[in-house]
Amino acid sequence: MLTTLFICLVAVAAAGYFFGQRKARGLAASQNTRLHSLPGYHGAYVAFWVGLPSLVLVLFWLLFQDAVVEGLVVSAIPSEITQGMSGNRIDLLVSEIKSVAAGRIFVEPQPYVLEAAAHYNILNNTAEKAMLVVVLALAVLGLGYARRNLSADFRARQKVGLTMDGLMILCSVIAIVTTLGIIASLLFEAIRFFEKVPVGEFFFGLSWEPQIAIRADQVAGTGAFGAVPVFTGTLLIAAIAMAVAIPIGLFSAIYLTEYAGDRFRSVIKPVLEMLAGVPTVVYGFFAVLTVAPALREAGAAIGLDVAPNSALAAGAVMGIMIIPFISSLSDDAITAVPRAMRDGSYAMGATKAETIIRVLLPAALPGIVGGILLAVSRAIGETMIVVMAAGLIAKLTANPLDAVTTVTVQIVTLLIGDTEFDNPKTLAAFALGLVLFVATLLLNIVALRVVQKYRERYE
Amino acid sequence: MTTGAAPASFVSDAALKRLQKRKAADQRLKYYGLGAIGIALLLLATLVTSLIITGHTAFLQTHVTYPVYLDPAKIDAQDPSKGNYRSIVRDSFTALFPEVTAVREKRALTDILTSAAPYILRDEVVDDPELIGQTIDFTVPVSDPFDQFMKGNIKRETPEDDRRVSDQEIAWVDQLVAEGRLSKPFNIGLLTNADSRFPEMAGLAGAITGSFFALLVCFLISFPTGIAAAVYLEEFAPKNKFTDLIEVNINNLAAVPSVVFGLLGLAVFLGTFGLPRSAPLVGGMTLALMTLPTIIITTRASLKAVPPSIREAALGIGASKHQVMMHHVVPLAMPGILTGTIIGLAQALGETAPLLLIGMNAFITSPPGGILDPSTALPTQIFIWADSPERGFVSRTSAAILVLLGFLVAMNAIAIYLRRRFERRW
């Protein structure tokens, strides 16, 4: 249905283009004057008038059709049934009506549900037909209006240019809209969370047990939302990851920039970067399948008790993922140190190692630190590795052999499955998301500042 | 004034020793560097080999072939989809082992076949109702424990209590092997079946279609908008606070954790707009928002690489600014733009966390028919299988990862080819 509509729209717009072009040529020939704009621009002008308003209408229609149809269906249900129902009950009823309307019938539904489902189908059907008619009518109207405007000295090129500018600005603004969307949705849900759980408890509480009862008769904890153990767990795993990634990444970068020959470098660098291209779900599986059992056996061999989902396994694998990140950013920082500093050091008789440690690394330090900060922000935002390999229980510990949980693990586990938006358990995920977003944003801003300051010194 | 002999201190033993020490330190740093690269490569190799070792067996699947008599009494000739296929499958199979008579043993014997065998037979008969009344050679996958046994993952030497296949069952399998009824062809089902609770029937068709639809949506949204935004920011935008804000935003979006985009998709696309859960449309829209910064950044880089002389020449002969863009600069930058887009899409293909939050990790047994049907995607399918306890799913997870990595390698290879083939150096 929708596909047909879009094909129709494209066809009408294309027709508009050719009409406009032909009319412009006709105008030029009949009045024996030169056109102000090329015929193609006249065509494009008509096509814009045909396509754009109808496209906008379709999008709005699709956005609101469901809500309107639902409202009509619910209001048509006899009021003695809907009376006294809470918002949730009505939502449930609506989804039952929808699944019955789609033919997914599991238990024999109530007669009024069947009736409502039939009503729903009829309304939807009408709405779709109505949309087709209205949209096509609007397209034809646009066609007529635009064609009437065409004349030999019509400034079609400027109009088309303005429209294109507008469209391009609209596309650029999507970035801002996305950021605003993120902030708004996180803030909105987080504020609702903090209405139920005090801010102080969330940021300073030491106990995290979000598994609270959804139904009254369920056996579950009373719920505790002190996020400190979650934050410490995140930091512990990120620290382990950095302990793995920084030495390996930094030494690789030093070797590749200063010691390796061109051919070695051109082969090894892309291979190292392949580590960054591996999807994180693959690392997660690698951690569960290979690294965690290996660490457990190694621990058992020397008499240590390693948890099956230890922070060490998750952190180490995350470190592997971050190696190329550190190595390529340090690589850039070291390469950017001016040639003269290197030559000066060699001229004084320093060896390569002395030049690297005493001259290049101090000079490149801001760039390297910036890179490390970016890597930390990646580590605390990384999700799949920890979801698969780290623990679910929040434990306040600094022991890397123990299981800890992280912010991202909690977000995913709290939101997987059925979600209800008025439950503190679900809303807690958004509060954690807000913390994560702010933390990574700050890290990125600081990192970019550090890197920029350093660039200014040499350019 | 003294001439000739150099000051002896330069070649004194102490100085030579110092020099040696300094050179040794130099060598040490070099070896640390080599060691670090070696460790990184070793880790990559371990990752790939462990996946290949566990995953390669899933590309083969043990099948059993045996004669089945399609008893017309048990099948409705008018409507072949109705029939007692369960008993047909069971009776023909137990007929191979006349010595087995006890009901319980017969049931154990039938467990060698996949539980989906009756449905497979039904589909074959529905496709060709002529078969009713004939005896056909019926080939089905064996169930997971026996598949693992045939692949050597369950060892005969293990004490009987510790393995999932009993001695009696091994004897039956040995008899089937002796009769030449077992074969291990390439596991086409891995690519053509959708998900299933039984490892021997589970395949990636649903996940691949779902990923395809999601990437299609992602491409249709992010490619045009990304190019338009990049062209505007690079070529038309005035330098002011507003455009600075846009640029800062794009750079920050590129570093926002993917799970946060999942939260956005959940709250806005599912919550506010009420789009269906688990649909590739929502997945694709979320991925598009993540891919957009990548496409904008690479497109701007390729636009920058087109030399100003091209623009000046076109402007000089009277082209408008838009014509310069549409006719000259963007086409010249296209190879770079396409390369960046493919790399962005490859990242999107491997992205898992946002898809989990919008519910693309459901258990769905048929491939999606469109962008609004519930579906999984390749990475979320990997996540689902990795969580499944059955032994057969371990090797299937690795196999699914190998398929995913195959797609990624192919996409990156195309990107590299495009860059090599069409990139111009000015």
> How many angstroms separate the CA atoms of B350 and B405, rounded?
9
Pairing of strands B135-141, B182-183: unpaired
- Whether B353 and A383 lie within 8 Å, measured CB to CB: yes
Q: Where in chain B is the domain with CATH 1.10.3720.10?
A: 205-422
Q: How far is CA A278 from CA A432, B109, B135, in A?
A: 27, 43, 50
CB B372 within 8 A of CB B178: no
- Whether A271 and B292 lie within 8 Å, measured CB to CB: no
Instruction: Give the pLDDT of residue B97.
Output: 86
Q: How close does chain B come to A13, measured CA to CA in Å?
A: 18
SS3 A205: coil
CB A404 within 8 A of CB A232: yes
Task: Classify residue A8 as left (phi > 0), alpha (psi -120 to 50) or beta.
Answer: alpha
Tell me phi and psi for residue B281, to 5 degrees.
-60, -50
CB A331 within 8 A of CB A280: no
Give the 3-state secondary structure percentages of chain A, helix then strand then coil, rounded to 5.
Answer: 80, 0, 20
Q: If you average pLDDT over each of A68-77, A102-111, A225-234, which comes out highest? A: A225-234
Instruction: Give the pLDDT of residue B1.
Output: 47
Residue B4: is its pLDDT beyond 60? no
- Over residues B308-329, the mean pLDDT reads 92
- Over residues A46-70, the mean pLDDT reads 85
Q: How far does CA B217 lie from the centroid of its chain? A: 18
Domain boundaries, chain A: 2-154, 224-458
Averaged confidence pLDDT in chain B: 88
Amino acid identity, residue A327? Answer: S
Interface subset of A 244-273, CB within 8 angstroms of B: 247-252, 254-256, 258-259, 268, 271-272
Closest CA to A81 of A118, A113, A117, A104: A113
pLDDT more than 90, % of chain B: 41
CB B91 within 8 A of CB B99: no
The continuous run of DSSP H or E covering B66 comes out as strand B63-69
Residue with tokens 């020959």: A261
CB A363 within 8 A of CB A257: no
Instruction: Give the pLDDT of residue A30.
Output: 85
Instruction: Give the pLDDT of residue B71.
Output: 82
Closest CA to B77 of B130, B135, B121, B134: B130
- Over residues A170-183, the mean pLDDT reads 91
Q: How far does CA B173 lie from the centroid of its chain? A: 34
Q: What homologous superfamily does CATH list for A224-458? A: MetI-like (1.10.3720.10)
Instruction: Give the pLDDT of residue A70.
Output: 81
Closest CA to A207 of A215, A217, A197: A197
- Whether A181 and B264 lie within 8 Å, measured CB to CB: yes
Q: How far is CA A322 from CA A10, A374, B14, B33, B274, in A?
A: 46, 10, 44, 17, 37
Amino acid identity, residue B23? Answer: K
- Over residues B120-148, the mean pLDDT reads 86
> How many angstroms separate the CA atoms of A15 and A144, rounded?
12
Averaged confidence pLDDT in chain A: 86
pLDDT digits (tens, 9 = 90+) for B207-261: 999 999 999 999 999 999 999 999 999 988 888 888 888 888 888 888 899 999 9
Confidence of residue A418 (pLDDT cuts 50, 70, 90): low
Residue B46: is its pLDDT beyond 70? yes
Q: Which stretches does DSSP call E strand in A99-209?
A: 208-209
Which residue in the set A174, A352, A440 is minimally distant from B255, CB to CB?
A440
Instruction: Give the pLDDT of residue B264.
Output: 93
> How many angstroms separate the CA atoms of B9 and B407, rounded?
66
A326 touching B (Cβ < 8 Å): no
**Burial label, A47 (beta-carbon count in 10 A; 0-12, 13-18, 19+):** buried
- Over residues B35-56, the mean pLDDT reads 93
B385 contact partners, CB below 8 Å, separation of at least 6: B202, B393, B396, B397, B400
- Whether A286 and B253 lie within 8 Å, measured CB to CB: no
A319 touching B (Cβ < 8 Å): no
> How many angstroms separate the CA atoms of A312 and A315, rounded?
5
pLDDT digits (tens, 9 = 90+) for B323-360: 999 999 999 999 999 999 999 999 999 999 999 999 88
> How many angstroms separate the CA atoms of A74 and B226, rounded?
41
pLDDT digits (tens, 9 = 90+) for A77-135: 777 777 767 666 777 777 778 778 777 776 777 778 888 888 888 888 888 888 888 98
Residue of B27, B28, B352, B394 for testing the chain A interface, max A β-carbons within 10 Å:
B352
Q: How far is CA B290 from CA A172, A324, A375, B208, B255, in A?
A: 14, 21, 18, 20, 9
Pairing of strands B182-183, B63-69: antiparallel
The continuous run of DSSP H or E covering B137 comes out as strand B135-141
Give this complex's ipTM: 0.90
Amino acid identity, residue A39? Answer: P
Tell me phi and psi for residue B369, to 5 degrees.
-90, -10
A356 touching B (Cβ < 8 Å): yes
Nearest-10 Cα torsion for B119, B120, B123, B129: -110
> How many angstroms separate the CA atoms of B43 and A323, rounded?
11
How many residues make up chain A in this entry? 459
Closest CA to A425 of A434, A412, A414: A414
> How many angstroms separate the CA atoms of A439 and A210, rounded?
22
Residue with tokens 């296209």: B334
> How many angstroms separate the CA atoms of A234 and A226, rounded?
14
Q: What is the DSSP string of B173-208?
A: HHHHHHTT-EE--B-THHHHS---SSGGG--SHHHH
Q: How close does chain B come to A179, measured CA to CA in Å?
A: 7
Task: Classify residue B318 as left (phi > 0), alpha (psi -120 to 50) or beta.
Answer: left
- Over residues A3-9, the mean pLDDT reads 82
Interface subset of A 84-143, CB within 8 angstroms of B: none
Interface subset of A 18-57, CB within 8 angstroms of B: none
CB A43 within 8 A of CB A20: yes
CB B299 within 8 A of CB B223: no
pLDDT digits (tens, 9 = 90+) for A270-320: 899 889 889 999 999 999 989 999 999 999 998 888 888 899 999 999 999
Residue B268: is its pLDDT beyond 70? yes
Query: Within a 13 Å sphere around the CA of A218, how many CA atoms are in the beta-carbon half?
Result: 10
Q: How far is CA A111 from CA A84, A96, A98, A100, A114, in A?
A: 19, 12, 14, 11, 5
> How many angstroms separate the CA atoms of A249 and A269, rounded?
12
In chain B, DSSP finds a helix count (H) and a strand count (E) of 17, 3
Q: How far is CA A378 from CA A437, B7, B150, in A?
A: 11, 57, 43
CB A373 within 8 A of CB A452: no
CATH of span B205-422: 1.10.3720.10
- Whether B225 and A285 lie within 8 Å, measured CB to CB: no
- Over residues B398-409, the mean pLDDT reads 94
With beta carbons under 8 A apart, name residues in chain B contacting A265: none
Instruction: Give the pLDDT of residue A415.
Output: 87
pLDDT digits (tens, 9 = 90+) for B237-252: 888 888 888 888 888 8
Instruction: Give the pLDDT of residue A459.
Output: 56
Which has the minimum average pLDDT: A35-44, A263-272, B21-30? A35-44
Residue with tokens 């560097």: B33
B417 contact partners, CB below 8 Å, separation of at least 6: none
Amino acid identity, residue A7? Answer: I
Amino acid identity, residue A240? Answer: I
Tell me phi and psi for residue B358, to 5 degrees.
-95, 15
> How many angstroms separate the CA atoms of A120 and A101, rounded?
7
Residue of A62, A257, A281, A434 for testing the chain B interface, max B β-carbons within 10 Å:
A281
| CB contacts < 8 A (A, B) | 256
Q: Helix axis angle, A156-196 relative to B280-305, nearest 10°? A: 130
> How many angstroms separate the CA atoms of A368 and A372, rounded?
6
CB B213 within 8 A of CB B371: yes
- Whether A433 and B259 lie within 8 Å, measured CB to CB: yes
> Angle CA(A230)–CA(A279)–CA(A418) in degrees, nearest 5?
55
Q: What is the DSSP string of B350-379?
A: H--HHHHHTTTT----S--SSTTS----HH
Closest CA to B341 of B283, B305, B403, B293: B293
Nearest-10 Cα torsion for B149, B154, B158, B163: -90
